[in-house]
Amino acid sequence: MLSTNSKLIMAKFDIVLASASPRRKTILSQVGLDFTIIASKINEDFSIELKPKAFCEHWAREKANDIAKSHSDKLIIGADTIVIMNDKILGKPKDYKESFAMLKSLSGKTHQVLTGVSLIHFDLGIDFTFTECTDVSICFLTDEEIKKYIYEYKPYDKAGSYGIQDGFSIYVEKINGCFYNVMGFPIFRFHKFYKSIKMEYKLID
């Protein structure tokens, strides 16, 4: 939760993105945010029994907390994106076979993309986590289209085995919700909370 201590006045604090994701880096950079990257070493354990929302929030906070433990004076941003199809969590595919199976399961259907985002600044008492959900409808995919996409884009680092911002975009019929959430970071929800932090602590850019 956000600290209610408004007596502390700061000019600026450092921001750290606890992720090596190039897409999250791009999204945060395009809104002019000044930050550094210290990638968390935490990896999701898909064997834990959690509902999708709790799952991505748990791992987003674990990633943020991993870095915050040694950087308590900085605002740490952790994030975790998953794809949900028929109540099943799809993470990043391990190999071609798993990638093909994931895309085959998404073909001609609507699925959900959930991103958990966690913001921690231990020195200021900030510890806040939320989830954004977007519905994504995919057209029918032939086996050849799936094979061609995997061969050309090698989507092994993407939840659900696709990137909405790359060549897979021609197969996305429609989305309902935040586009950037599907890329891996819901910038609107994040920035809304970040603005509240700036107001409370009288931060300057």
| pLDDT tens digits, one per residue of 50-76 | 999 999 999 999 999 999 999 999 999
Nearest to 56 by CA among 109, 134, 153: 134
- Report the distance separating Cα 163 and Cα 81, nearest Å: 12
Q: Which long-range contacts (CB under 8 A, 24 or more apart) does 161-169 make?
A: 161/90, 161/92, 161/93, 161/98, 161/99, 161/102, 161/103, 162/103, 162/106, 163/23, 164/136, 165/23
- Report the distance separating Cα 194 and Cα 171, nearest Å: 34
Q: Where are the domains of the chain?
A: 15-200
Burial call 35-60: b when 16+ CB within 10 Å, e when fewer: eeebebebebeeeeeeebeebbbbbb
| Euclidean distance between the first and the last CA atom of the chain, given in angstroms as a whole number | 23
Percent of the chain with pLDDT over 90: 78
Q: pLDDT value at position 204?
A: 61
Q: pLDDT value at position 49?
A: 86
Query: Does the pLDDT at position 5 exceed 50?
Result: no
Q: The domain 15-200: what is its CATH number?
A: 3.90.950.10
Query: Does the pLDDT at position 107 exceed 70?
Result: yes
| pLDDT tens digits, one per residue of 110-136 | 999 999 999 999 998 899 999 999 999
Query: Does the pLDDT at position 6 exceed 60?
Result: no
Which positions are catalytic? 80
Percent of the chain with pLDDT over 70: 92
Whole-Å CA distances, 172 to 94, 110, 118, 195 = 23, 10, 28, 32
Helix (H) / strand (E) element for 64: namely: helix 52-68
Please tell me whether the overall predicted TM-score, pTM, comes out greater than 0.85 for this model.
yes
Query: Does the pLDDT at position 20 exceed 50?
Result: yes
Helix (H) / strand (E) element for 89: namely: strand 88-90
